[in-house]
Amino acid sequence: MNSWAIIKAISKRELGGYFTSPVAYVFLVIFLLLTGFFTFTVGNFFERGEASLVSFFTWHPWLYLFLVPAAGMRLWSEERRIGTLELLLTMPVTTWQAIVGKFLASWIFLLLALALTFPVWITVNWLGSPDNGIIITGYVGSALLAGAYLAISCMTSAMTRNQVISFIVSVMICLFLILAGFTPVTDLLVRWANPVVVQTIASFSVMTHFEAFQRGVIDVRDVIFFVSLIGFALFTTGVVIRGHRAG
Amino acid sequence: MIKVENLVKTFGAKRAVDDISFNIERGEVLGFLGPNGAGKSTTMRIITGYYPPTAGRVTVGGFDIVENPIEAKRLMGYLPENAPGYADMTVHGFLSFAAEIRGLYGDARKKAVHKAVETCSLEGVLYQTIDTLSKGFKHRTCLAQSIVHDPDILVLDEPTDGLDPNQKHEARSLIKRMGEKKAIIFSTHILEEVEQACTRVIIIDRGKIVANGTPQELKSRSKEGRLDDVFRSITLPDTVLA
């Protein structure tokens, strides 16, 4: 029995879990309403007079800040609370397979939500002629950003049985990852600290790496940043889960 | 099939399991008795590979549970305490998932699920979600999950908890029947259960084995030949002290 078959079985179950409860539908509707609201009303999509999705993607780090932890908070805390974690980990499954399987399922769910924003892309193509290459890299960046936040939510979810605590802690960590490279904050920091220090802190921020994708650039370093952030958070998840079992 | 050697598990300063050793062979049904908090569930969690032991060794079908956990876990079916299940899944979906994780696909999976459903009499609730089930059905669903791959070894933590007297009777005869071909270890508080279903009994108290023998041997220790007198005389002093 190979690893992928197990990961697939776990992912399938997890993804099914979103759709058999109202969670998926509430999440999708709110996500789409909010992206629409921010893009067209707050982001002045029409007044900008340019054929681009800048006003769409700009809001993603802030939207995800609340929505991704909401989608990820139950991943492990729920399993621990109702006791199915014991069931799952006494089946012939490694901790890794369980972590990857559950993470992939939630990521696929978030990607589905992202894919359902396609009317925005159609609109901008219908009204003008945007650079679709930039839009594609924008989507790639957004997908990676969602994955990074989700991995952090996985980690905080493994730490507690309480979903509220899991949610708040992961929002805080994600907020830090935004603010460390958010221009108003870095501008403020430069007044007190050495610019090199500020830049180093900013390089840990998701904003710095996310913005490059919005300019149409897929830089290997940015991809590596997100992938290693995901890897680190999932690795920590594994350590936390093993820690619970060791007692 | 299961070999437990000098098993120790500590949680902080507390020794939950304190130097336990025993074996279970095919064809044996081992009843695991003891007061609450004696270390029954902890021992079972170590055997099934959920908790790593602090010291000692557990081998399942020749595989060390720490060194070859996947091979060892394949041979076992496990019913955890309180019979957990994914609340939003249907009974059928849940059993199919368990079968898939156990490496069963297509027709083999359908047959395995069908057989487990039949054995545990779940036909009537097959497409109900687990959170809508009564305690008895929830328990039987989790039991069905543990036997879906027809394992050689069964570890059942309080398999009759929450069942009504008829269901208890059925569960006991099922365990007895399966015990002819498998190695089974199950924990319980109910002494009459041990007499009816077990070929051997281990009484554990505060992490240590205080009695190990056939139900008849243990009964003969009491003047009236009653198992609960034996149980009380062995475990009561500690309960009073605690």
Partner-chain contact A92 B73, CB within 8 Å: yes
B44 lies within 8 A of chain A by CB: no
Does B7 share its domain with B116?
no
B181 lies within 8 A of chain A by CB: no
Does B109 share its domain with B218?
no
Partner-chain contact B89 A89, CB within 8 Å: no
Residues of chain B with pLDDT under 50: 240-242
**For residue B226, what pLDDT is reported?**
74
What's the whole-number average pLDDT of chain A? 91
Does B146 share its domain with B159?
no
Does B156 share its domain with B138?
no
Does B161 share its domain with B237?
yes
* H-state helical runs in B148-214: 165-179, 191-197
Does B19 share its domain with B54?
yes
Asked if residue B143 belongs to a domain, the reply is yes
pLDDT at A246 over 80: no
Question: Where does the pLDDT of residue A1 fall: very low under 50, low under 70, confident under 90, or very high at 90 and above?
Answer: low
A242: its two tokens: 């093993």
Q: Which of A20, A82, A92 sits opposite B70 (nearest CB)?
A: A92
* B44 and B185 Cβ atoms separated by less than 8 Å: yes
A119: its two tokens: 């009317």
**For residue B241, what pLDDT is reported?**
46
* B170 and B118 Cβ atoms separated by less than 8 Å: no
Total number of domains constituting chain A: 1
Does B55 share its domain with B158?
yes
Does B126 share its domain with B183?
no
Does B60 share its domain with B159?
yes
Does B197 share its domain with B108?
no
pLDDT, tens digit, for every residue of B174-207? 999 999 999 999 998 888 788 888 999 999 988 9
Q: Which domain holds residue B87?
A: 82-151
**For residue A66, what pLDDT is reported?**
93
Asked if residue B174 belongs to a domain, the reply is no
Does B43 share its domain with B70?
yes
Asked if residue B187 belongs to a domain, the reply is yes
CB-CB neighbors (< 8 A) of A21 in chain B: 88
Question: Where does the pLDDT of residue A185 fall: very low under 50, low under 70, confident under 90, or very high at 90 and above?
Answer: confident
Report ipTM (2 d.p.): 0.90
Listed as own residue / partner, the contacts of A230-233 with beta carbons closer than 8 Å and 24 or more positions apart are A230/A103, A230/A147, A230/A148, A230/A150, A230/A151, A231/A151, A232/A151, A233/A148, A233/A151, A233/A152, A233/A154, A233/A155
Does B156 share its domain with B46?
yes
Asked if residue B16 belongs to a domain, the reply is yes
Total number of domains constituting chain B: 2
Q: Render the burial of A225-239: b for 16+ CB within 10 Å, e for the rest.
A: bbeebbeebbebbbe
Give the integer Cα–Cα distance in Å for A45 and A47. Answer: 6
Q: What's the CATH code of the domain at B183?
A: 3.40.50.300
Handedness of CA B148, B149, B150, B155 (dihedral sign): negative
pLDDT, tens digit, for every residue of A112-136? 999 999 999 999 999 888 999 999 9
Q: Which of B7, B8, B10, B50 to mutate to test the interface with A (most CBs of A within 10 A)?
A: B50
Q: Which domain holds residue A203?
A: 3-246
**For residue B242, what pLDDT is reported?**
43
Partner-chain contact A13 B87, CB within 8 Å: no
- The nearest CA of chain B is from the CA of A75 a distance in Å of 12
pLDDT, tens digit, for every residue of A23-63? 889 999 999 999 999 988 887 888 877 878 888 999 999 99
Q: Which of A18, A81, A86 to mutate to test the interface with B (most CBs of B within 10 A)?
A: A86
The arithmetic mean of pLDDT across residues A156-165, rounded, is 93
Q: Which of B74, B80, B84 sits opposite A92 (nearest CB)?
A: B74
Q: Centre a 10 Å sphere on the Cβ of residue B205 and count the other Cβ atoms it contains.
A: 21
- The nearest CA of chain A is from the CA of B212 a distance in Å of 27
Task: Provide the CA B61 distance to its chain's centre, in angstroms.
Answer: 16
